[in-house]
Structure 1
Amino acid sequence: MVQTIRIEAAARGRAGKGAARATRREGLVPGVIYGAKEEATLIALDPRVVMKELHKGGWQSHLYEVAVTDGPTVRTLMRDVQFDPVSDRPIHIDFQRLAPGARIRVKVPVTFLNEEECPGLKAGGVLNVVRREVEVFAAVDAVPESFVIDLGEAKIGDSLRWSAVQDKGGAKPVISGRDFVVATVAPPTVDEDTTIVAPPPPPEATKQKAPPAGGAAKAPAKKK
């Protein structure tokens, strides 16, 4: 199941753009915890902690226990991160508070097993990943760390669909009513032969000499 990560946060007393700018001047990233029919909690976080989580990848499917100074520890999902358009540093973070027993909408990454043993890839095929993440509804305490698809028997032309996921953990896809494609084993790309067309030969030089510059050519003299 999905890992739970604990991060520390300081409480903020005031809301608004001015208060958020003041928090950034202190070297912290302002944030908010909302949801579960409770009042929003204003927080400030160490930017190094934030960047560490963002660099891990898959942060949208991780559970975070946010320990607020002089306050409660709240189980959350990191829902949105705003970045400075110039420095590309995080400038605000939204966390969604999770109620016990609730089902949440979350993106779960897809991983593939046995790529080295895959018959289609051995034959020169290419793994074409259609969905690197699948968005699902899942219980708070049962969000899968990833969805796993085994390529051990996949051949060229095969489509790996939602039904090929090994352990869904009770998650239900947001896309309903069809067994959608997650990946395919595409045939190898064959470069078409390129025919080189030689340029046409230059036109034959005119046998008649060009008239001298500055005047028309003289007519040939008549025989007497």
Structure 2
Amino acid sequence: ELRTPLNAIIGFSEIIGAEMFGPAGNPRYASYGRDIATSGRHLLMLINDILDLSKAESGRMSVDLAEVSPARLAETCLRMIETQAQENGVRLVVEVPEDLPQLRTDERRLVQVLINLLSNAVKFTPRDGTVSLRASVAGDRLILVVEDTGIGMSPEEIDVALSVFGQIESAMHRHHHGTGLGLPLAARLVDLLGGRFDLTSTRGVGTRAVVVLPLDGSTPASVRDLEMTGAS
């Protein structure tokens, strides 16, 4: 009921903005159409995050496990984030070896996790900074690390960022709008996938997010109780 009318708004405003059926008359009408489409896509993204978080917290979100190549997963995420990185003047570094073993997980949910983490990293990394995605294997676990050279957070700000609808008050954060759901949703999706999520950050240095997942898609205690110190 939320997505269907919004998709119609986005679709028709894109037609108006592109003047697909002829000139709109006054050029401002086409410009307004493009503005409506941009705002509609942003609103749809927020609605999707809210609905996904609601389903995850109510235990109604299911996972569809399948064999996934970590290298292919990284390639998919890179394609989806590289335009944003280019626009922000941020360098992307991907270190995911081709020979890593297959991971049994829900690919769509894991992509959602990584895109949230990468998008946040790019968003809060100043121009000429670096955002990296690395992957490695430790025993029966896959370790994914998203790290940036961005503005970073204090321990108190990390608590806020991981809370639902948490908004950090700083000059750079005020330039970017959102619901504050990206990190909480990523943490809940990782938990849903049977993994562990850890976030560390230093003001003025950068932020490091670590996702640890069981390669076989199970949820053994060893993964739940994994000590994150030293994961890389």
Q: Normalising to structure 2: TM-score of the pair? A: 0.25
Q: Normalising to structure 1: TM-score of the pair? A: 0.26
Pick the structure with more strand per residue.
Answer: 1
Pick the structure with more helix per residue.
Answer: 2
